[in-house]
Amino acid sequence: MVDGDTLAVEQFMQVYYRWMKTLSQLNELLIEVFEHRLLMRRLRHSRD
**Is 10 in contact with 2 (CB distance < 8 Å)?**
yes
> What pLDDT sits at residue 38?
96
Distance CA 31, CA 48 (A): 26
- Dihedral angle of Cα 24, 30, 34, 35, to the nearest 10 degrees: 50
Among residues 7, 6, 28, 9, the alpha carbon closest in space to that of 17 is found at 9
Q: What is the pTM of this model?
A: 0.72
pLDDT digits over 7-21, tens only?
Answer: 999 999 999 999 999
In the structure, what pLDDT confidence band is assigned to residue 40 with cuts at 50, 70 and 90? very high
Q: Cβ atoms within 10 A of the Cβ of 19, count?
A: 10
Res 47 pLDDT > 90: no
Judged against a pLDDT cut of 70, whether residue 32 lies above it is answered with yes
